[in-house]
Structures are given as C-alpha cells and as structure tokens.
Amino acid sequence: MTQAKRLSEIGILFPMEFEAEPTWKKLGGKSVEVAGLETIRGNWKGVPIVSARIGMGQPSLGEKVSKWLQVNPCRAVVLTGLAGALDSSWDEGDLTSFHDEQWQEFHQWCKGEALLRAGKWHTAKEIIATGEAKLALGKKTGCGIVEMEWDYVAEACRQRKIPLVGLRAVSDHADKLLPADLFLLGCDLKTGKSTPWKIGAHLALRPWRLLELFPAVRGCTHARSVVSKALARFLDTLALKG
C-alpha cells in the first residue's frame, strides 16, 4: 500500500473486542497483528478504514498506539466504545463526543446529531470498583463520563500530529457498575479480547452472580448498539462526500 493511500485512511480504535465486533463485521476481511495490535483493514462504502483493538488503559498503551500509528499514519483517528457515567444526569445509552473540533468533518457531523452530548471525559488509571466511587470521582473531576484510554491515545496522536476525536456511549449509570471481578474475567485488559470461557467457568460454580451480571450485560449491549450506529452514520457521511 502506498504512503498516499495510507494517509487517506481513517483510524478507528476500540478498547475491547465486544465494542469492535459490529463495525469489524461490516468491514470484513481478516484481522492480523500490526505493531502488536490486532488490526483489520477494509473500506466503508469506499472510505478506507484501518481499525485496531487496543486493550484497556495501561501504562504501555501510549507506546503501543504510537508504534501502530507509525505503521498506519491515518489522516484522523476515532477512539470509540463504551464509557461509565460519573454524573447522575447521564443515563445508559447516552452518546457523547470529545474534542470533536480537532477534526472538521467529525465536528460538522456532531453538530447535526441532536442526541449527541459534548462533555468532559476522565481517563481512569484503574477500574473503579463501586458506583459510590464513580459518583465521588464525578464530583471531584466535574467530568460526565469515565473511560480508560483517552489520555494514552491522545499523547500518541499528538506525537504523530494526527487529529483524535472521541465517540462513546454510556453503558452504566453513575450509581451502578459491572462488578470489577466479573469484568476482569470477561475481558483481557491487555488485549481487549473477550474471554467468555473464564467468566463461564466462574458462573458455573456461582450461578447466583448472574443476578449481578444480567443488568450490566443489557446496559453494555444497548450502549454498543447506540455507539456502533452513530459511528456508522458518521462513516456514511464521509462516504457521501466521496
């Protein structure tokens, strides 16, 4: 692939396999490892896309993304996926953008999305264990939502002088949270890959914990649908512009 063609690509980064699945299915193609990250390359109605699963927030994430961007010098990057609410005014399924002004085409699209809420994002350095802790963090930071990747990815994009914008949907209300231990069993933090066998084995011996899991799964599934459809609408807009 020529350098010019690579520079025309849109980069889409997902922390988790669960978040990436709807978009990756539409892109088609086979995923391969590129600079240590599982990557898929395709096109969306003629728009060239390169997408990677980056894993959850961790100290090495910025370096990984920087190396990936060196191989894939995109014209812009969208960091997308799920987020937890820190403010009680945010509800499950609410859609939020971040720093949309960094990319004019994304900014213009955002202005036409009536249900899209701009808001401050907080990058947590570790999983927040309780709903009470989320509410306290919201009051302390003044942020609407919490995620674990933005700061690392933003630094990598800054180094490469690549515009970065954010698009997330709220998966859990501020006073609720997927139990941290179940979350860790269901997803590998380093790679973002789903690990259903781990959580399945755990629940087989502790079926009563399904009562904790079901509401969280519903929230995550709804949020994934919301953000995946929003991302599709944005990519459709790019395709129409040619």
Q: Over the stretch 33-71, which tens digit does the pLDDT of each residue have?
A: 999 999 999 999 999 999 999 998 888 999 999 999 999
**What pLDDT score does 75 carry?**
95
- Whether 209 is covered by a domain: the verdict is no
- Whether 203 is covered by a domain: the verdict is no
Q: Over 70: is that where the pLDDT of 6 sits? A: no
**What pLDDT score does 125 carry?**
87
Q: What is the mean pLDDT of residues 216-236?
A: 93
CATH number assigned to the domain comprising residue 117: 3.40.50.1580
Domain that holds residue 226: 3-176+221-241
Q: Over 50: is that where the pLDDT of 182 sits? A: yes
Q: Over 80: is that where the pLDDT of 1 sits? A: no
The total domain count for the chain is: 1
Whole-model pTM: value is: 0.91
Nearest to 52 by CA among 60, 41, 63: 41
**What pLDDT score does 239 carry?**
93
- Whether 152 is covered by a domain: the verdict is yes
CB–CB of 45/235 below 8 Å? yes
Would you call 157 exposed, middle or buried from its count of C-beta atoms within 10 A (0-12, 13-18, 19+)? Answer: buried
